[in-house]
Structure 1
Amino acid sequence: MKTKKEPELPKLCECLNELLALELSRGNRISHFNNQARWPHPDTHYVLLINDLSTEFKDLKFSQNISHQICRDPHYGWHDECECRVHHDLLCAGSTKPF
């Protein structure tokens, strides 16, 4: 008898998981994720959200651990790029905007 396989869930560090949970509670959705991205660091987990971020970073418990920048390189395709300085996980969101 086959057992039903549980769907894989994104695995982000606690620093970025707080941001992910807030974004999801505000209606943002996961486009895709990779729990074994291994980029930009060998231990990186990666999540891409459909919409740009709406969370104020100053309100996050782990804001000091998150590096946030706007990505203008259409090669990557996302707008917000958040990398955990401690765990090296990556949460990106939205789509690259034209200049």
Structure 2
Amino acid sequence: MKTKALFCEDLAAILKRELANGNSLTEPPTVTDWPNRGSVFAHLAKDLTTPKNALPEIIEASICNDPHYGWYQELFCRRHQHLLVAGIPRPGQPMWTSNH
């Protein structure tokens, strides 16, 4: 069973900015215990507008272009293990990239 939840302060600030920029949620912040126990997960409909250089150091930005997962960008809080994803897969683009 999924339980609605709040993101950690770092991802909450990014989510707030994304929603103010016109993005929308396809899945609200929810405790999913994925990728780790206690993790909160949310999915934005469109690609992120927040540039990587504006992300806090604790946030890891990656690309997950695997259609199995169903999104394109990932922001992972290393401290709280929360995950904000955005967009949809892009056929023909690289499958995985990470920017630690």
Indicate the SS of the match to 1:67.
strand
2:35 and 2:53 map into 1 onto residues whose CA distance is 25
Q: Give the drift of 1:64.
A: 0.2
1:34 and 1:24 map into 2 onto residues whose CA distance is 13
Residue in structure 2 matched with residue 49 of structure 1 by the alignment:
44
Indicate the SS of the match to 1:35.
strand
Residue in structure 2 matched with residue 15 of structure 1 by the alignment:
10
1:75-86 alignment runs, 5 A limit: 75-86=68-79
* Matched-pair identity in %: 37
Judged with a 3 Å threshold, the aligned counterparts in structure 2 of structure 1 residues 81 and 46 are, in CA distance, closer, same or farther, namely same
1:35-74 per-residue CA deviation (whole Å, 9 max, x = no partner) reads 22000100101110000001113224xx101111111111
1:75-97 per-residue CA deviation (whole Å, 9 max, x = no partner) reads 00101111100000000000010
1:79 and 1:93 in contact (8 A); partners too: yes
Bigger Cα Rg: 1
What TM-score do you get using the length of structure 2 for normalisation?
0.83
Residue in structure 2 matched with residue 59 of structure 1 by the alignment:
54
Q: Which moved more, 1:41-50 or 1:8-17?
A: 8-17
Indicate the SS of the match to 2:31.
coil
2:37 and 2:59 map into 1 onto residues whose CA distance is 18
Aligned length in residues: 90
2:46 and 2:86 in contact (8 A); partners too: yes
Unpaired runs of at least 5, structure 2: 93-100
Higher strand share: 2
